[in-house]
Every structure is written in C-alpha cells, then in structure tokens.
Amino acid sequence: VLISPPDPAAALVWAPGAGVPAHGHIEHLLAYGESGYAVLVVDIRGNGGKTPGHPLDMEADYTTLLSGGWPQVYLIAADLIMGERYLHDRFGTVPVWVVGESNGGRYAAQAAAADPHFSGYVGISTSGFSLRGEEYTGQARRFLLSVDPQALAGHIAPRPALLFHSPRDPVIPLAAGEELADAFGEDGEWFLFNGTHGVDGEVDRLLLIELNSR
C-alpha cells in the first residue's frame, strides 16, 4: 500500500507487526502523506494479509536454512529492501527510512543492516533477542545473530535509529526495548510514549516531528 504526495520530502518503508496486514495502516498513515512523506506499507509474509507465509518461527526458518532454502525472515527483509529500491526508483534521491512495529521492527532492523541505502531505522514497540545466538556455535549461532537487532545495531550505525516504547507495553517489556536502545549507543534515540503496544497517535506525532527536524 503506497500513500504519498506527488513530490515527497522523504519516504518510509513500513513493516507492520504480527497479524496486521498492510491495509490495516491506511487511515493513520494518511497524516504522513499530508505532511509531505511517502509511506510504502509492506504486506508482511504470514501476517494474515494477501501474502502467504507463517508467523515468526525461528525453528522453522532454521530448518529451511539447513535444507538450503531461504528462511522467511530473510525473505521479509528482502521484501523491505525491494520497497526501498521501488521508492528510490519512483521518487529519486529522497531519504528512505525503514520503520517496523513489534516483529516488524525486527525485520526492519535486518533490512537496514543489510541495505546501506536506508537513511535510518525506526523501531516501535520492538526489541532484539538478547543476543541469545551467542549461547550456540556454528551455523545456529550465525543464523540467530543474523536476525537479532541487537547484534545488527552496529551495522545500522552511524545512521540514526529512533526507538519508541511504552512503559505499559504488555507484549514486549520496556526492559527488552531498552536493551535494543543500548545496543545503538549514541546513534540511537529513545522515546517513551503513553500507549501500550504498537503505533498510536502519539508515536505518529513524535515521529513526524523527528522527520521534520532532519
């Protein structure tokens, strides 16, 4: 789903959270278009939209990797990167950020780490996996760290990272979000908001303020 003015000042590739199809974001993202920003919302594989797939399942993805296939987590990151390429093809040299909520924030971090053409990363109500891959060896270690935003933070820097989290988040605890913010160090900016889990009007307002200031 693309929302855009004719000549945007910047663009966002948006990865919704678990169970949210692309069209679920149209209403609140209209404000971004009205503020001069293009937003391409990707229909995440397995999120219940038009794109088939399964919900986030690291064990299934690792099994796919061992059999010589591409894990779905890698395919989703590639989808987001293709979104960035599309926006640059359509709008030229505008800055393109990648934004993700909850699980979408993890996919967005993978995309930003892999693609230096993203101008920055935004994570909303998201976290890493506490570097659990370091508890393993060999291919399991490499795979788990390759999908962990905390391990990928150094590959996103020195590009900016904006992280939004609610102290009342019932899904991903605040402490987990703080771990991810700490991984970015001085390249990360940490924002608390008054909602629960996922984007809300306050996050939209804060994010637009940040984009307008850059």
β partners of residue 100: 15, 123
Say what the pLDDT of residue 137 is. Answer: 97
pLDDT digits (tens, 9 = 90+) for 43-68: 999 998 999 999 999 999 999 999 99
Say what the pLDDT of residue 182 is. Answer: 97
| Residue at 68: amino acid letter | G
CA–CA gap between residue 152 and residue 157 (Å, rounded) = 9
Say what the pLDDT of residue 25 is. Answer: 86
pTM: 0.97
Q: Following DSSP, what letter does each residue of 31-68 receive, concatenated?
A: HHHHTTEEEEE---TTSSSSS---S--HHHHHHHHHTT
Strands in 10-15's sheet, in edge-to-edge order, are 2-3, 37-41, 10-15, 96-101, 120-124, 161-165, 188-192
- Structure tokens belonging to residue 197: 């889990």
Average pLDDT over residues 17-24: 91
Helix, coil or strand: residue 142: helix
Judge whether residue 147 has pLDDT over 90. Answer: yes
Q: What is the mean pLDDT of the chain?
A: 96
For residue 210, give the H/E element and its range: helix 201-212
